[in-house]
Structure formats: C-alpha cells, structure tokens
Amino acid sequence: RGDTPDPAAAGPEAPGVATRGVTDPRTYYYRRFLTDAVRAVDAVRTLPAVDPARVAVLGHSQGGGAALAVAALTPDLRAVVAGVPFLCDIPRAIVLTDAQPYREIRDYLAVHRHAEERVLDTLAYVDGVNFARRCHLPARFSVALMDEIVPPSTVFAAVNACRGPTELSVWRYNGHEAGGIDDDEAAVGFLRVHLWPDRAPDGP
C-alpha cells in the first residue's frame, strides 16, 4: 500500500529528525532518507524520456548532502553538484554552529551524554566526507563563508576528500543561500559539459 513504517519513532530524540534513531545506523532517519535518494535515481532511469547512461545528481543543503551520498553509492553517474552540502564533517559541525539542524544533535548529546560514542558512530555512516572519499565523479561544490547553518570548513572537508576532479565556488559575503542564481547558472554549465561532452559549447 505504499506505507513505510518508521522503526525509530518510539526512541528518544530532540525535536526534528536529525536525532531520530541516532543511536543505531540501522534505525537512523538519514540512513533511510539517503536510501530513498539512491532509489530515486533508479526510478528516474526507468523513465522513457531519460537516457539511463546520462544521469547526474544535484542538490543544495540537505539535497547537497544527499547528492554526495548518491554519487558514492550509485554506479555510472556522470557528475554531481553539491551546493553548501549539509551532513559533512558532522562532528566538527555540531560544535561550530548554534543553528538548527546541527543544534538538534548537540541538544541531544547535552542530555544523553553517555551516548556520544554511539551517536558519532551512527553519524559517520551518513557523513558526506566519507561519501566524498568514495566519489570519483566530476564534482562541483559551492560554499558560503557567512553560512551559519552549514559551517564553511565542513564543505571544504568534503571538497578535499573527493577523489574526482572538483570545482568550487566560494561566496565570501553570503549565508546559506550561497550563490543563488549564480550557482544555478554555473551548475547548468558544469552539467552540460559532463552530460553532453560531444556537443560544442555554443551548440543547442
């Protein structure tokens, strides 16, 4: 019937989803979220209008973190675009920023002090830096130096971990919106090169 039970719904958590099932990687919310992202690519590849050999992934913030995971876990993609990706270098992020949703994890650990090792072990399973280490695709990132939600150093950690060729836009005076339409324009150009490498730059 399309119903997907949540096995972690009854466990202790802080308000939000970042700590839902966080003491075990098998029940953690973001494990299921990222699994859905991978399956979404599988579904897209079955559509008649899609060339399954010419697929890339793109996302911003939480979507950027998901894009990195999909890039590491899905074979035969062409490229990945991760704008100010959330879920990167999580142990550092939770002690750097007071903003949600990383604040949710810190609030949880402030109460469940004995669970720190288990929580950090679970978070490592969804950390974008670990996915970046498995990513050999051409990758485009953006980072905003005034971002209070995704600390810039956590994005740099993912960029440095990537195994494929990378591009990076650094927005010195922007927050979590990063480059906005300028990021979008750069992403379109980047994806055009990697999805249609046989076309001339000024082609249709």
- What residue segments make up the domains of the chain, in order of their start? 29-195
pLDDT at 176: 98
CATH class, domain 29-195, is alpha beta
pLDDT of res. 198: 81
176 catalytic per annotation: yes
> Positive or negative CA dihedral for 35, 38, 40, 46?
negative
- Answer yes or no: 60 catalytic: no
Residue-level pLDDT at 51: 96
Q: Which of 24, 112, 153, 176 is catalytic?
A: 176
Residues 43, 139: Cα–Cα separation, whole Å: 22
198 Cβ contact partners less than 8 Å away, ≥ 6 residues apart: none
Dump the DSSP string for 77-93.
---EEEES-SSSSHHHH
Task: Supply the DSSP string of 92-125, one letter for each residue.
Answer: HHHHH--STTHHHHHHHHHH-GGGHHHHHHHHHT
Q: How far apart are CA 5 and CA 143, in angstroms?
A: 35
From the candidates 89, 107, 127, 147, give the one annotated as an active-site residue: 147
Given 60, 61, 183, 194, the catalytic residue: 61
Position 47 scores a pLDDT of: 97
**Per-residue model confidence as pLDDT tens for the chain (204 residues):** 455 566 655 567 767 899 999 999 999 999 999 999 999 999 999 999 999 999 999 999 999 999 999 999 999 999 999 999 999 999 999 999 999 999 999 999 999 999 999 999 999 999 999 999 999 999 999 999 999 999 999 999 999 999 999 999 999 999 999 999 999 999 999 999 999 988 746 544
What tokens were used for 58? Answer: 């793109």
What does each C-alpha distance from 115 to 22, 105, 112, 184 come to in angstroms? 9, 11, 6, 40
Known catalytic membership, residue 114:
no
Distance between CA atoms of 128 and 162, rounded to whole angstroms?
A: 10
Q: Do the Cβ atoms of 122 and 190 come closer than 8 Å?
A: no
